[in-house]
């Protein structure tokens, strides 16, 4: 399959239902192979790592069960980032296939 002027070897039938000629799969392969997609996901990973390090555990030292409002905002942001990661996973599984081909999502 030709994608962005390169020959790409993919599973001929992603999830046993999406062939190379399926317009949705062609669009998703072009999206996943676009360099800005990787840059965006890397940026989200860096942001997620920074947010994980910003959690405040000082309420445990005080012996209180009251979580801080800051932690609640971090939790909300973490949920949004988790949705972004799930969408990335779903898009890549549709584009590459799940496990049956050597370039599939789980085997790559």
| Mean pLDDT to the nearest integer, 33-41 | 92
Report the interhelical angle of 23-33 vs 35-53 (nearest 10°): 60
pTM beyond 0.85: no
Instruction: Specify the range with the lowest mean pLDDT, choosing from 5-19, 25-39, 70-84, 90-104.
Output: 5-19
Q: Kindly tell me if the per-residue pLDDT of 62 is higher than 60.
A: yes
| Spatial separation of the C-alpha atoms in residues 95 and 29, rounded to whole Å | 5
Closest C-alpha among 89, 96, 93 to residue 1: 96
Confidence of residue 41 (pLDDT cuts 50, 70, 90): very high
Q: What is the mean pLDDT of the chain?
A: 80
| Spatial separation of the C-alpha atoms in residues 64 and 76, rounded to whole Å | 22
Which tens digit of pLDDT belongs to each residue from 69-81? Answer: 888 889 999 999 9
**Running DSSP on this structure, what letter comes out for residue 8?**
-
C-alpha distance from residue 19 to each of 9, 15, 86 (Å): 13, 9, 23
């Amino acid at each position: 399959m030709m994608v962005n002027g390169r020959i790409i070897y993919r599973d001929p039938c992603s999830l046993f239902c999406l062939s190379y000629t399926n317009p949705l799969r062609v669009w998703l392969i072009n999206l996943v192979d676009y360099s800005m997609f990787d840059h965006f996901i890397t940026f989200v990973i860096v942001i997620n790592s920074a947010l994980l390090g910003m959690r405040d555990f000082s309420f445990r030292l005080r012996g209180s069960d009251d979580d801080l409002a800051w932690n609640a905002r971090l939790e909300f942001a973490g949920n949004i980032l988790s949705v972004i990661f799930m969408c990335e996973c779903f898009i890549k599984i549709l584009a590459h296939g799940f496990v049956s081909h050597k370039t599939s999502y789980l085997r790559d």
